[in-house]
Amino acid sequence: MIRRRQFLGGAAALAGASMSYGLTRRASAQDSSKVLKFVPQADLAVVDPFGSPAYVTRNHAMMVYDTLYGVDSNFKAQPQMVEGHTTESDDKIWKMTLRPGQKFHDGEPVLGKDVAASLKRWLGQDSFSQALAPFVDEISAPDDKTVQFRLNKPFPMLPDALGKVNPRSTGIMPERIAAADPTKPITEIIGSGPFRYVAAERVAGSLNVYEKFADYIPRSEAADNLAGGKVVHFDRVEWHTIPDPATAAAALQAGEIDWWEQPTPDLLQAFTGNSDIRVAVTDKTGNLGILRFNFLQKPFDNPQIRKILLNVVRQSDFLIAAVGEDPSMWQAPVGIFHPNAELASTEGLETFTKTPDLEKAKADLIAAGYKGERVVIISTGDYPVIGAFSEVAADLFRKVGLNVDLQVQDWATVAQRMKNKGDLDSGGYSVYCNFIAGAAIYNTAGYSYLRSNADKAFDGWPDIPEIEVLRAEWLSSTNAAERPEIGRKIQQIALEKVPFVPLGLFYYPTAYRSDLTGMLDAMPLFWNVRRA
Amino acid sequence: MLKFAVRRVLSTIPVMALVAFLVFSLLYFAPGDPALLFAGDSATPQQIEEVRRNLGLDQSFWVRFGSWLWAVLHGELGVSMISNVPVATLIRQRIEPTLSLMALTLVWAVTAAVPLALISAWKQGTAIDRGIMGFGVFGFSVPIFVLAYCLSYVFAVELRWFPIQGYVPISRGVGPWLNSLALPAFALGTSYVALISRIGRAALIEILQQDYIRTARAKGAAPKEILFDHALKNAAVPIVTVIGIGVGLLIGGAVVTESVFALPGIGRLTADAILRRDYPVIQGVVLLFSFTYMLVNLAVDLIYPLFDPRIRY
């Protein structure tokens, strides 16, 4: 029988072993210099590169899958997997030649047929490919080194579509995977990108592991966003999902993790004065705040009412509530497109900076036909930015006399309700706030919130045919000089008919250990980064 | 005894069936359509309908419940609608951290609570008793997450004795395993210590006032003998009962503790599944929790005769 002293001695030895391990662990932390520990903005729930519009899935896909083209920091498509391309028949046939020596992670060579099958699977999956699809008659592989697009009309943005940053990857995978039933998710994650996904080590909801792909041949150009040489300096990258922001902040401070993609604004001050941690805005394209009306519900089926409400929005009010008063963390006024995009215009932006006349707006709303209908704003506390936007919107709407019902729920419920076309009594809604990545608003192709094709449009279902006509004009435009004018016209109509109200651009800083260098000014990319 | 155990095991079957029915009904009638989330943002109504059909969501309640129950009876808990990983695999991946956390919490809680209850009862009305009961009030009052953050700040961030987050499997050594679980187990176990020590104290005080204890004292028995041989053994039944009931607390507490310390356990799996409306996972883990809870209660029933020979089955 165990004696009391033996028991106490054993317990003390266990406690000692545990604490002494804790102390030695600190000393051995430096041994893992070839491992990068990263905390993504959200859990990587879906590893199928086509399976989710989530940015975290996009970031995963960029590591594992290489793309034919990649946009540089000016959002110009540059060759990535291809050596180059030629066009024939008035730009209706594109022939793209693959770089030699490219391999998949299973050791098989990358061939034209793999590329054709992958792109056929992608076509129609997102708004950019949906824009491209009507132009495509055939995607084929005339030989192992070539992939060919046969179009029925010229589509000058083809390389941009293939090298886009938006979710739903254009990544290339083996034909045997790409050609499988498109209604079933991809479960075998094999690409030809600079990192190999280690599926055996995945703990769904907690850990995802990537290893450097030794057979990857980077381009010789310097890395620049998704373009250039993807040179990897870490043997292994681990994505650790840490659901609690305070725990993630503490883990970064203690050196248990190297990089936290999206620290919450309230915890940033914890890093102030800590020379071991650097806080920077690497994704300088930011995010555009969105206030979306439901066109199917009264009173927002009325364009006059939407326009009156747009005119009382002062973007800085929303941005300060969302990310604080530091003006380096936001930009206003901002229109429909990203301020750096060729389509950007300053047309009508003065409305977003002036002090609104709320009494006049109140009277105008009644004159426009507002009869006190209930306005349901659906919001969530899971994303503080969305919560803040919604609070400001609710306050503003109440001040102009709307009968506001602000309903705060978890994000999964809000995401489901956003798709509900029913009336307010059957779970429908009037308004929601959200945001969209700045990289997605450089042009009209992948811009889901701008689509205005009624019931086929994104949640909110705006019906504005003029925007659709201009979008089609832009897609087939071969004259770069005319595109800014198309952008100006789209903005003019958007500020009049209001598919949504732009709430300004804000930035998410990222936080990382200061011994990391070479981080690119882009979304989280894991090539070029090294430990000093 | 064997007959009782078999009868009790068999009696869990209708209870489990009822639990399964309730869980399924709850999720069936919950608002929201998982097909919308599953289909993604750019899905057309036709695609959403196809997803709904593929997932069997277009079937009636009884057809869906019947097929789900049939699959469960064959050991298939379904596939996660979000990650596309079988629920059984998800549970298998997550079970070790949770079992480890619960085991360590139980060990620490019982090891601390029983001596505290003994001392408190023996020194009833003294400053020591009041101090221990004060600790009990503290243990009950402080939410697990507050205690977890405080412990994490002092022992992980400042002193660096323990890691802030993560789990090390026991296969990589007892020291690292213990090191990764020490703070979560302490945080989770504190309220449990409070519960057991208070119930234990009450039971012991009652027993220490019994005639046979007075007789033992009169016969000159040593305090140690009175406490351990006479009092503790008789107070064991309510203590064991409360330990069994407390497993329910542990399951609830594990959800919070695993989230704060980023342990990849069943608690976090549950929380994530609820937030994402991942119905097959929710159903799987709730069934698992119910089954575990019933097994623990069965174990408690079977342990009673060891402490009180008057209990016969």
- To the nearest whole Å, the CA of B309 is away from the closest chain A CA by 22
CA–CA gap between residue B215 and residue B235 (Å, rounded): 18
Per residue in A105-162, pLDDT tens? Answer: 999 999 999 999 999 999 988 878 888 999 999 999 999 999 999 999 999 889 999 9
Give every residue of chain B whose pLDDT is below 70, as ranges.
31-34, 36-47, 313
User: Other C-beta atoms within 10 Å of B98: how many?
Assistant: 28
Contact at CB, B182 and A18, closer than 8 angstroms: yes
Contact B156 A48 (CB under 8 A): no
Q: What Rg, from alpha-carbon coordinates, does chain A have?
A: 25
Q: Is A183 on the interface with B (CB under 8 A)?
A: yes
Residue A101 sits at the chain B interface (C-beta within 8 Å): no
CA distance A325 to chain B (A): 28
Q: How confident is the model at residue A4 (pLDDT cuts 50, 70, 90)?
A: very low
Q: In A, which residues are within 8 Å of B32 by CB distance? A: 412-413, 416-417
The fold of A32-42+187-283+509-531 is D-Maltodextrin-Binding Protein; domain 2 (3.40.190)
Optimal mutation site among A419, A421, A434, interface B, most CBs of chain B within 10 A: A419
Would you state the pLDDT for residue B60? 87
Kindly indicate whether the ipTM for this predicted assembly is greater than 0.85, answering yes or no: no
CATH of segment(s) A69-178 = 3.90.76.10
**A20 contacts in B (CB within 8 Å)?**
175
The arrangement of strands across the sheet holding A146-151 comes to A82-88, A93-98, A146-151, A136-143
- pLDDT tens digit sequence for A25-55: 544 444 568 999 999 988 898 899 988 878 8
The domain made up of B90-307 has a fold known as: MetI-like fold (1.10.3720)
Is pLDDT at A10 greater than 60 in this prediction? no
Within 8 A of B272 by CB-CB distance, chain A residues are 43, 205, 243
B40 vs A contacts (CB less than 8 Å): 51-53
In percent, the amount of chain B with pLDDT more than 90 equals 42
Q: Are A315 and A353 in contact (CB under 8 A)?
A: yes
B141 touches chain A (CB under 8 A): no
Optimal mutation site among A24, A48, A238, A247, interface B, most CBs of chain B within 10 A: A247
User: Do A361 and A312 meet the contact criterion of CB atoms below 8 Å apart?
Assistant: yes
Residues of B in contact with A3 (CB under 8 A): none
Find the DSSP H helices in chain B: 2-29, 34-39, 45-54, 61-73, 87-122, 127-141, 144-151, 174-208, 211-218, 223-224, 233-260, 266-276, 279-307
* Residue of chain B whose Cα is closest to the Cα of A183: B51
Please give the pLDDT value at position A23.
Answer: 46
Give the model confidence (pLDDT) of A325-369 as tens digits. Answer: 889 999 999 999 999 998 999 999 999 999 999 999 999 999 999
Q: Which sequence spans correspond to the domains of chain A?
A: 32-42+187-283+509-531, 69-178, 287-506
Measured between CA atoms, the residue of chain A closest to residue B172 is A21
Q: How far apart are CA B47 and CA B35, in angstroms?
A: 9
Q: Which positions in chain A touch B144 (Cβ < 8 Å)?
A: none
Inter-chain residue contact A458 with B271, CB threshold 8 Å: no
Residues from chain B contacting residue A458 (CB–CB below 8 Å): 41-42
Domain range annotation of chain B: 16-73, 90-307
Q: Which residue has the tokens 């629920």?
A: B87
User: What would the CATH number be for the domain defined by A287-506?
Assistant: 3.10.105.10
| Chosen from A166, A206, A421, A447 to mutate, greatest number of chain B CBs within 10 A | A206
pLDDT tens-place string over residues A255-274: 999 999 999 888 888 898 89
CB A238 within 8 A of CB A207: yes
